[in-house]
Amino acid sequence: MNYYYITGTSRGIGKAIAEHLLDNPSNKVIGMSRQKSIEHPNYHHFFLDLTDAQQVSDFRFELHGDAKRIVLINNAGAIGFIKPIGKLEADTIIKNYTLNLIAPSILTNEFIKCYNTLDTEKVILNVSSGAGKNPIDGWAVYCSSKAGIDMFSRVVDAEQKVRAAHPQESIHKGFHIFSIAPGVVDTEMQNEIRKANANDFSRLEDFISYKAKNELSSPLTVSKKYITILDDMSKIKNVLSSIKDYE
């Protein structure tokens, strides 16, 4: 049996990935979000507020004796209020960093801690963003948190390579970690972006145009691409990449 832990399964990319995985009876999906929108015999849901660091810290992964593969997909994320620094509330900054960076860091730490000695394939996929590489006004917290998850992924990957180089540490299979950006996807986040105040966001018209010109990928399409990549990880050459690198 393959086990997939996915954050943000109530909508968007996370829900689409979960539903695609559930088409295969050999997969079990464990979703983590504040709301549940999937009903399936092989789906289990944890009601978890990923903006609450204490709730995330209290979460524990389960041991699966029949696991052929265990995957953590840190998908949940939010852009938050689109305003320049100087106009944000402290609580907004804290919650968005928690959701986008602190929660996936905690979950990755617990994932590795739980399955460190398990001799099976173990994969961590972080859903990144091009915003982590390109500064966008009004998106300071989102851009920096996505840049943070990219560097976090690179460090974890480096640690796994150091571990593999020491025989006493590499008795069991290590962890594969990747941070892959989905591109511009037609999700609720895009809807929120289009509602931004033009005075707070200079690129508002660009994002309105993406929708008007049908340049947004559907969550369905993107989820299929993520699953295809996970099913053949030999195609992944770098820790950091984008969906478009595999087209």
Active site residues: 142
Alpha helices in 165-246 (DSSP H): 188-194, 204-212, 219-231
Nearest to 72 by CA among 26, 99, 98, 103: 103
* CA–CA dist 79, 71 (Å, integer): 25
Q: What is the 3-state secondary structure (H, E, C) of 103-159?
A: HHHHHHHHHHHHHCCCCCEEEEEEECCHHHCCCCCCCHHHHHHHHHHHHHHHHHHHH
- Tokens coding 82: 């689109």
